[in-house]
Chains A and B, each alone.
Chain A
Amino acid sequence: MSRRAVMIRLTALIMLLAFISAPNLFAPVFEPLTTNNAPAIYNQGNLLFLTMAHLGTVFSAALASTLVAVLLGVLVTRPSGVEFLPLSRSLVSIGQTFPPVAVLAIAVPLVGFGEKPTLIALFLYGLLPIFENTLTGLTQVSPLTLDAAKGMGMGPTRRLYEVELPLALPVILAGIRLSVVINLGTATIGSTVAAKGLGEVIIAGLQSNNTAFILQGGLVVALLAVLIHDGLMMFERLLVRRLGLGPAAA
């Protein structure tokens, strides 16, 4: 990233932090968007708390999807699970045609309103990109490399932990990043089923016809998504360099 790009992101981060911790300072900016003396800044809840709740939902769902997706990905690429591999690939592509709203809506009658249906929808929807990338990463490891590892006397477990997973890591991480960014947006829809999060601000704006609310909620989520996307990408590059994989492996 160039110096300028870093500066822009730093500024965005500082603005974002300032806004969620002291939103009232920004009231003059949003005032022109309101009518009939409606409040310019969301006043039915604490923005900092809502942001934390939003991030908490997204990251706990992402953690669960990562664990399950990587485990499944490893299982179906082992010799004993290979019968499941073709079906797994089809299921990933079929699963991604399910709209997140539909997953969310079907989960509500089953588990009730609140965080639970949102967590389930985010977990299920987040599985797909991670699982897909785990499959890609693990099946892309060259057979020559695996033979060399075998020749060095490595057993299947050591091959997995010391050769296959590290080589697949960049692709798996890219899948996690994709899944987190998609879920940051999807989590806002969770507020239609009463989950705590930034979607609340947007929904309140839609209900009271207050564009200032809609814009605030949307901007905070969009900024979070862009910053988290770039942050995760920086982390991936750092990790790949640390592991000595270099760009060739990525």
Chain B
Amino acid sequence: MASPHWTLSPDRLGSMVAVLIGIALYAAPFVTYRANRIAAGAARSIFEALPPTTAFVLVGAALSVAIVAIFVRRSIVRLAAASLGLVVIAPCVGLSAGFVTPAGNTFARVSPALGFWLLGLAFSLLVADALTRLRLGPWARLGALSIAAAAMALLLFSGAWDGLSILKEYATRADSFWSEARRHVLLAIGSLAAAVAVGLPLGVLCHRAPRLRAAILQVLNVIQTIPSIALFGILMVPLGYLAAFPLAAALGIHGIGAAPAFVALFLYSLLPVVANTVVGLDHVPATVVDAARGMGLSNRQRLFDVELPLALPVILAGIRIVLVQNLGLATVAALIGGGGFGTFVFQGIGQTAIDLVLLGAIPTVALSFAAAVILDAAIELSNGTSQ
């Protein structure tokens, strides 16, 4: 059902995006102005939030994207238009902070409002749709991710957004932000590494000894159903006892803090790693294993040179699940003093300061998203090499 490229019949997805853009431009506030960080906000439309020329450029750019979305079907054009839209609105929202805030007022806060988020959503939907339709290869997807990351870094470090409320929250906590970031990543990746070190051999064992398989997988399944805050809490007990021994205490094991969070994330990570190792090994064709045996490969060689490489894509899929899950769950660690981005999220909830919540939530989402893209590409690349 290929539609001719000259058609003037509107594209449905594009029309939906155009409607979103229309609502964002004419019916929603662009930024919210507050007298201080927890005061009630006042809405500012695009023309109240920006100098007239800039506002016209912004509206013009957004409307052009809407027109492209409705009438142009070539993915590459849509991608270019929507990316341009994002490039225009991102510095604009930073600019509006300076324009809306009275000179010399250091208490006032300006945050992006519904209109900005809707424009961002509309453009991102268009970008996502175009990228999906272009069927980019793994390297091209990694390239797109790097460009997006570089653009974000440029906006953050150039100071274009410094007037926004969320960066003012950051400015007062710059040191703790980076130490919590390091803890968050260490918790997520460290527990993943531990789970791979234990889970891979366990998976191989399950594959070779079917009797053990049901029992081990059952236990790991049950662990997954324990809610994260309960598991964090329960683990505080044995670790608290362990901490009474000088050696354990010297290793940094404490009842509260990062140790129970690390162990809990490790336990949650085991199931996907073990289960995917077993499935991956199961799917290695029997003929291949026979051939390897016929060539006189030892048990060990067969495992490392034939079976594990062939099972790699499935094992990587398990690792992707674990990494994305861990990056998210590590936020909960803050509840038991384990640190991480959750610290800001729960502090923000306590103070009903949405920008503080976002300071914790946005980096978490960005990390999980980047991890998912990178590992998806790795899975695809390993699929190519293992065939």
Chain A residues near B229: list those with CB within 8 A.
188-189, 199, 202-203, 206, 218
Q: Is the CB of A99 within 8 A of B336?
A: no
The reply to whether A90 and B233 form a contact with Cβ atoms under 8 Å apart is: no
In chain A between 177 and 225, which residues have their CB closer than 8 angstroms to a CB of chain B? 181, 184-186, 188-189, 192-193, 199, 202-203, 205-206, 211, 214-215, 217-219, 221-222, 225
Could you tell me the distance in whole angstroms from the C-beta of B367 to the nearest C-beta in chain A?
9
Q: A101 is contacted by which of B234, B237, B328 (Cβ under 8 Å)?
A: B328
Chain B stretch 95-137: residues in CB contact (< 8 A) with chain A: 125, 128-129, 131-133
A237 to B324, CA, bound (A): 31
In contact, A106 and B233 (Cβ under 8 angstroms): no
Q: By the criterion CB–CB under 8 Å, are A101 and B342 in contact?
A: yes
Contact A222 B227 (CB under 8 A): yes
Interface of A (DSSP majority class)? helix
Looking at the complex, which one of B125, B131, B228, B237 makes contact with A189 (CB distance below 8 Å)? B228
List of B residues within 8 angstroms of A205 by Cβ: 233
Pick from A86, A105, A202: contact of B357, CB below 8 A. Answer: A105
Q: Which of B225, B336, B349 contacts A206 (CB 8 A)?
A: B336
Indicate whether A102 reaches chain B with its CB closer than 8 angstroms. Answer: yes
* Cross-chain contact B357 with A109 (CB below 8 angstroms): yes
A20 to B129, CA, bound (A): 49
Are B225 and A229 in contact (CB-based, < 8 A)?
yes
A144 at the B interface (CB under 8 A): no
**Residue of A at shortest CB range from B370?**
A97
Query: Are the C-beta atoms of B227 and A221 separated by less than 8 Å?
Result: yes
Q: Which of B227-267 contact A (CB under 8 A)?
A: 227-231, 233-234, 236-237
Query: How many residues of B are counted as interface, with CB atoms below 8 angstroms from the partner's CB atoms?
Result: 47
Query: Which one of A93, A108, A215 contacts B349 once the chains associate, using CB atoms below 8 Å?
Result: A108
Contacts of A222 in B (CB 8 A): 222, 225-227, 230
Considering the chains assembled together, what is the distance between the CA atoms of A148 and B332 in angstroms?
A: 52
Interface of B is mostly: helix
Given A84-B12, A86-B132, A97-B368, the answer on whether A105 and B348 have CB atoms closer than 8 Å is: yes
Size of chain A's interface in residues, with CB distance under 8 A?
48
Given contacts A91-B128, A214-B233, contact A99 B365 (CB under 8 A): yes
Residues of A within 8 A of B193 (CB): none
* B43 interface residue (CB < 8 Å to A): no
Residues of chain B with a CB closer than 8 A to A186's CB:
227
In the complex, chain A residues whose CB is within 8 Å of the CB of B12: 80-81, 83-84
Which chain A residue lies CB-closest to B345? A105
> Would you list 21 pairs from A and B whose C-beta atoms are within 8 A, ordered by A residue?
A80-B12, A90-B128, A91-B125, A97-B328, A98-B365, A99-B365, A101-B331, A102-B331, A105-B361, A106-B358, A185-B225, A189-B227, A189-B229, A189-B332, A202-B227, A211-B233, A217-B230, A218-B227, A218-B230, A221-B226, A221-B230
**Residues of B in contact with A (beta carbons under 8 Å apart):** 11-13, 125, 128-129, 131-133, 222, 225-231, 233-234, 236-237, 324, 327-329, 331-332, 335-336, 342, 345-346, 348-349, 352-354, 357-358, 360-361, 364-365, 368-369, 371-372
